[in-house]
């Protein structure tokens, strides 16, 4: 790595310090930084390639990070996760490959997402409760069939 690129590399390391990032995300961040400095886009590309060689940037690791995060805390369906990965700049091929090789139980995720709101929803009239539950799960990226099954399972548990 060239000595004049060390400050740019430091900016990249600081950006990567807080959470894993995609290559596109990091590149766009550094492009914004170089607008006000003497570096060029070629310098940013050199830094990005160096970070990839050092394994600080890897879109596959980012996919794994985001999927684990979205299935543990902020529960979302596969469709919503794919959309979010697309927004972060992960290629559709890489995303499709990941989901074809990884088994995700969407029904369990839907039940988990709905269970958090169930105490509020369960006091409503039956039709309103159904609408609220289905809409909540739709906003989280679950399809209608999965949402309906999760709703019915929670109703049957009562």
Q: What is the pLDDT along the chain (158 residues), one digit of tens a residue?
A: 677 889 999 999 999 999 999 999 999 999 998 888 888 899 999 999 999 999 999 999 999 999 999 988 889 999 999 999 999 999 999 999 999 999 889 999 999 999 888 888 888 998 999 999 999 999 999 999 999 999 999 888 77
d(CA 8, CA 10): 5
- The whole-number pLDDT of residue 98 equals 95
In the numeric block, which tokens belong to residue 81?
């996760």
Quick check: 47 and 39 in contact, CB under 8 A? no
Using an 8 Å Cβ cutoff, are 96 and 63 in contact? Answer: no
pTM, to two decimals: 0.86
Tokens found for residue 70: 């979205």
From the number of C-beta atoms within 10 Å of its C-beta (0-12, 13-18, 19+), residue 24 rates as middle
């Amino acid at each position: 790595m060239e000595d004049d690129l060390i400050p740019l590399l430091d900016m990249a390391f600081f950006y990567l310090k807080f959470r894993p990032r995609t290559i596109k995300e990091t590149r766009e961040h550094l492009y914004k930084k170089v607008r006000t400095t003497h570096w060029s886009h070629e310098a940013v590309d050199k830094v990005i390639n160096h970070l990839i060689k050092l394994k600080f940037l890897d879109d596959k690791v980012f996919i794994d990070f985001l999927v684990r995060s979205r299935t543990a805390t902020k529960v979302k369906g596969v469709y919503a996760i794919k959309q979010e990965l697309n927004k972060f700049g992960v290629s559709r091929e890489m995303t499709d490959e990941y989901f074809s090789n990884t088994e995700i139980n969407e029904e369990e995720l839907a039940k988990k997402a709905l269970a958090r709101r169930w105490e509020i929803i369960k006091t409503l009239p039956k039709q309103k409760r159904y609408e609220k539950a289905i809409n909540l799960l739709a906003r989280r990226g679950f399809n209608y069939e999965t949402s309906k099954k999760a709703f019915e399972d929670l109703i049957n548990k009562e």
